[in-house]
Structure 1
Amino acid sequence: MQQNTSTFAQRLSILAMPEVADTLKGVMRGIERETLRINGNGSIAQTPHPNALGSALTHEYITTDFSEALLEFITIPHQDPRQALAQLRDIHKFVLARMGDERLWPMSMPCYIESEESIPIAQYGTSNVGKMKTLYRVGLKNRYGSMMQAIAGVHFNFSLPQAFWDKWLPAVTGGKADQDGVSAAYFALVRNYRRFCWLIPYLYGASPALCGSFIKDNKSSLPFERLPSGAYFLPYATSLRMSDLGYTNKAQSGLNVCYNELDNYVHSLRQAINTPSAEYARFAVKEDGQYQQLNANVLQIENELYSPIRPKQPTLKLEKPTDALAARGVSYIEVRALDVNPFSEVGISLEQFYFLEAFLVYCAITPSAEMDSDGFAQTEQNLRAVVLEGRKPGLQLNNQGQSVTLYDWATELFAGMMEVAKVLDQVHGGNAYQSSVQHELEKIEHPELTPSARILHHLQSTGEGTGAYALQMAKQYKQRLLQHQYSYHSEQELEQMALTSLQAQRDAEQADKQSFDAFLQEYFAQAGKNCA
């Protein structure tokens, strides 16, 4: 049976075979949750990363993203989603207990920002690696502004076990489950995800409105309406975080990143980090002896590529993501289209874990044709339509050149996902997967159940501002999490990890013998060799 001729029904029957289905017990999933530290009035904390949390440079689970105030909590990969949530909850408790009066902002979009300068850039110490991480963020600020970088999201990491590929690929493609075969299968999943990922902001988008301070200096062409509280909104928006106002980069639209195969993906990314940009050349790499960006190329480094999904391979020390992929292939994918779930104290719910797994397995087993530039543009247009107007009655999307309503397309996708969920429930016992799919299907039938609709309804019916609404949640969640009993880590274990990470940072700083100039030159010279 060849990949390009087999049907979804045929593939589903292979998935349901006991020897194939049983391997799904080995699926791994992990979470990266971003959240701003805020003061009692909702403004961004200006304090340094708390020393009691450890080193943001070297801690495995507690770090920072763009800003010193933008925390990022990372779980290891787990076979049991309940364990992933337990670890995430323990990390939240540990952090909140060491933040004084500060709280964690429970929304994706920030609030109460006086100016770009009130968003402190993350600091990682005096080692060359630490300086490079901070300088990368200085470059982001210069290129895109700090406002966009203060937005928080949730990343869902997902991998299928080697045992699955060993059974699946010979049966479906006749190919080997070697590194190349597995990478190609992950890229097929990625292409399907790009086709269907408009569903994610529809179901989980939770940013239909913005605090007025966020766009006061931003000339937006979007037809915003204004609430009495001063917040801006679009009536049918789902995730303004994913709009051009939020975490996207219009400057990258001409990159032509290829998702058809690993080699072309790596090549297109490497090309971007080695192609000078006329636009970014206006920021001197050095000004008055101070660097303004890592370089003046289209992307400073690969991580600058904004995408709703990334194929990933864990990196070794100072290894670039493209080098890791080229050397060892794809080992997992990172879903990046999730808003923070404001109705969960840890930003994501257990039900989301089950649904996302059913959705990603569906993407993995559904036939996935290669994607040309027009097909890619369609996925971008569909995503933008749902982000801005996802709950609009009768919204039309483009499915391979055919105009179709969101409702009809979603209903079709859910029929397939429910079949996948049945297999997953047979493997794990119970009905958690089918229940999660059914729960999300209700949002298709009743758009008022979506997080974006619930938030907008609250703001419109109470007259409350986005900031006041989120502050109430932040206060409740802090109280609730401080009462939580550690269940995955012990407090002593997390305290020791913090101390160990601080020592690791000191060791890195003392071990550096190279100047920062020489360190950067060597780092990017290596990139040049890789692109030859």
Structure 2
Amino acid sequence: MLPNLDTALLWLQQHPQAVQHFKRGLERETLRFLPDKHLALTPHPTQLGSALCHPWITTDFAESLMEFVTPVREKAGELTDFLWDLHRFSLQHMGKERFWPMSMPCFINNESDIVLAQYGSSNLAQYKTLYREGLRNRYGALMQTIAGIHYNFSFDQPYWQRRFPELTEAQQQDQLSVRYFNLIRNYLRYGWVIPYLFGASPAICSCFLQGRQTQIPFEQSAHGFLYLPYATSLRLSDLGYTTDTQSNLGINYNQLSQYTASLRAATRRPEPQFQAIDQAINQADGQSGKQKAKTYRQLNANVLQSEAEFYAQIRPKRVTLPGERAVAALERGGIQYVEVRSLDVNPYSAVGISEQQIYFLDLFMLWCELAEAPPLGDSEQQCCRKNWNKVILAGRKPQQTIGVGCDENEYSLQAMGEAIFDDLLQLAAVVDCVGQEQGYVQICRELRQAFADPNLTLSAKVLADCQQLGIAAFAERQAEKFKQAFLSQPYRTLSEQQLQQAVQDSVRQQQAIEQADEVSFEQYLALQNQA
């Protein structure tokens, strides 16, 4: 039913020091909203610096959709403390605005009110905004205001040195990519445990649909919001970050060369549906008859405008060099870390994610790397998606079943989840003995209970609170509580001076980028599309 862990577990027990450190980083998205619970339409606060260049405080799709980014840290508490300080500093410059504490967006009267993120006048800035214009024209702006948490994870070098001591440094680097793809394949097969445990979007405001048709059989609460009684993460459903055009991309997760080739092909293959958007409109000057600059609606009309548009549950990553594409970075140096993208914002945590969740993800990543994962074909990928969808839409349903691969048999979701935790508990015992942080075993024991009692899942708690208060009142209560906590407590790891310095540095960097441009945006865009 599950991959056999015996050999890998024996190795780990013989080399416990290999898991003394995990390297993680977090990205937290959140909407700014007003006291009347509507989306804030104000620009990104200038007091927070340049959204283009600030290393920690930026914007995602819209001016009102903020993104906080942490550096890589080896302790979970350091990550949440860093996020705390970024939230605290930002709230000081937001007036009455607060952070919407949920993944699915707050009240948005009109989709056209959403202002795309702006990054200045440079070619790079215009490129980033145009990419978002393309997203709006392809998928709609509402979908792009959905917020999430991205968890970036890697094993440190001593782990790989102990794992493959017989390999040279160059061979070790190749093996790294092999093992990270092993991790990714296991994640695609069994990562549904994450929305089961931590999905926090079982309901949506009715205004989110805004007349759109959906096949999801929603029920309406007494407070007027829409929900599914056993849903875990509507953010990951067809209403959220899934698209028809990406369902059959044929992305290969078996080898690095095949992955990069399949992803690059998607960024170069024209898509008739997107060609119809009209990539550019020539505008004529009515008085002089002279041609004006083109007005673009997307970067290009390909299946993916760029690799960033690939909405996978998990992605292999490498830090890019200036001007380098993500695929080129992977080809240059192999996989450096993985980006887990399946986490909803946790509305019970001021920073959107708890240390308990980070500890679980550490163990699950370790399990996914150690357990051998056979190659994953296109047909099995489709079967994996069906499993994820089952959990996303009805994971808490009594006696829910789940498939394994494309096996026609169905297995108890409870039994499958508990079996995974049997393995995780053994890994946790090793990590607790040698790691910098303790408590992995206790966390496993606590989370394991959610498979026997789905009411212990995050989605069940969120739905119960929403049924009692309504989405708006629940979100308002959490947001106000968090705001008061942020503003009444001191900084935890950064100082006001450090944060102000980062603001000033980011503004200077943006000015330098703008002054360095030597070609027109049309030329810049052509070069980027050829890369």
Quote how far apart the aligned CAs of 1:430 are: 6.7
Matched, 1:408 2:415: yes
Q: 1:261 to 1:175 in 2, by over 3 A?
A: farther
Confirm or deny: 8 A CA contact 2:75 2:437 kept in the other structure.
Answer: no
Q: Match for 2:144 among 149, 166, 178?
A: 149
Q: Does 1:200 pair with 2:194?
A: yes
What amino acid maps onto 1:221 in structure 2?
Q
Give the match for residue 43 of structure 1.
38
User: Structure 1 residue 354 and structure 2 residue 359: aligned?
Assistant: yes
In the other structure, the counterpart of 2:286 is: none
1:21 shift after superposition: 2.0
Alignment of 1:357-368 (within 5 A): 357-368=362-373
Matched positions, count: 516
Residue 14 of structure 1 corresponds to: 11
Partner of 1:530: none
Show the counterpart of 1:279.
273
Of 180, 183, 201, the residue aligned with 1:186 is: 180
1-structure distance, mates of 2:260, 2:438: 40
User: C-alpha displacement at 1:428, in angstroms?
Assistant: 2.0
Letter in 1 for 2:93: R
Aligned 8 A contact 1:159 1:331 in 2: yes
Q: Could you tell me which residue of structure 1 aligns to residue 241 of structure 2? A: 247
Aligned: 1:389 with 2:386 = no
RMSD, matched Cα: 1.5
Residue 38 of structure 2 aligns with an amino acid whose one-letter code is: S
In the TM superposition, residue 457 of structure 1 has moved relative to its aligned partner by: 1.5
Of 429, 445, 452, the residue aligned with 2:459 is 452
Q: Is the 8 A contact 1:170 1:177 kept in 2?
A: no
Q: Is the 8 A contact 2:12 2:18 kept in 1?
A: no
Partner residue of 1:479 out of 462, 476, 484: 484
Structure 2 SS opposite 1:157: strand
What amino acid does structure 2 have at the position aligned with 1:9? D
Find 2:223's aligned residue among 223, 229, 251. Answer: 229
Aligned to 1:99: 94
- Superposition pairs for residues 48-197 of structure 1, below 5 Å? 48-169=43-164, 177-197=171-191
| Equivalent runs, 1:26-41 vs 2, <5 Å | 26-41=21-36
| 2:501 match | 496
Is the 8 Å Cα contact of residues 44 and 118 (structure 1) preserved in structure 2?
no
**For 1:412 and 1:406, how far apart are their aligned partners in 2?**
10
Q: Residue 456 of structure 1: CA displacement?
A: 1.4
1:427 equivalent among 434, 440, 445 = 434
1:124–1:218 distance in 2 versus 1, CA, 3 Å: same
How far off its partner does 1:26 sit?
2.9
Q: Is the 8 A contact 2:317 2:337 kept in 1?
A: yes
| One-letter amino acid of the counterpart of residue 269, structure 2 | T
Residue 429 of structure 1, CA deviation: 6.4
Q: Tell me if structure 2 keeps the 8 A contact 1:139–1:294.
A: yes
What does residue 341 of structure 2 align with?
A: 336
- Offset at residue 229 of structure 1 (A): 1.2
Q: CA deviation at 1:328?
A: 0.6
Which letter does structure 2 place at the counterpart of 1:249?
T
Q: Structure 1 CA distance, aligned partners of 2:466 and 2:186?
A: 35
Task: Sort the Cα spacing of 1:422 and 1:59 in 2 relative to 1 into closer, same or farther, 3 A.
Answer: same
Q: Deviations over 1:274-295 (max 9, x none)?
A: 0011110011111243100000
Give the 3-state SS of the residue equivalent to 2:153 in structure 1.
strand
Letter paired with 2:6: A
In structure 2, distance between residues paired with 1:178 and 1:390:
39
**Matches for 1:208-219 after TM superposition, within 5 Å:** 208-219=202-213
Cα separation, partners in 2 of 1:175 and 1:444, compared to 1, 3 Å: farther
Q: 1:430 to 1:37 in 2, by over 3 A?
A: closer
Aligned residue identity for 2:322 = K
The 3-state SS of whatever aligns with 1:98 is coil
- CA deviation string 1:113-135 (max 9, x = no partner): 11211211100110000000000
For residue 176 of structure 1, report the CA deviation from its aligned partner: 7.5
Does the Cα contact within 8 Å between 1:33 and 1:74 map onto a contact in 2? yes
CA distance in structure 1 between the partners assigned to 2:525 and 2:178 by the alignment: 33
Percent of aligned positions that are identical: 42
Deviation readout 1:240-279 (Å, 9 max, x if unpaired): 0000001112210110100111111100010000001111
TM-score, with length taken from structure 1: 0.95
SS of equivalent residue, structure 2 residue 102:
coil
* Matches of 2:11 and 2:256, distance apart in 1: 26
AA at the equivalent of 1:8 = L
On the 8 A contact 1:169/1:176 being kept in 2, the answer is no
| Whole-angstrom distance in 1 between the partners of 2:485 and 2:225 | 28
Distance 1:166 1:430, change over 3 A: closer
Given candidates 425, 434, 439, the residue that maps to 1:418 is 425
113-122 vs 231-240, which moves further: 113-122
1:469-511 C-alpha deviation (Å, 9 max, x unpaired): 1011111100001122112111110011001101111111111
Q: Quick check: 2:164–2:172 contact (8 Å CA) kept in 1?
A: no
Structure 2: distance between partners of 1:219 and 1:493:
48
Contact 1:340 1:348 in 2 (8 A): yes
Q: 1:313 maps to which residue?
A: 318
2:315 corresponds to which letter in structure 1? R
Unaligned runs of 5+ in 2: 284-293
Cα distance, 1:429–1:147 mapped onto 2, change above 3 Å = closer
- The one-letter code sitting in structure 1 at the alignment partner of 2:361 is L
CA contact (8 A) 1:204 1:450 kept: yes
Measured in 1, the distance between the counterparts of 2:412 and 2:169 equals 37
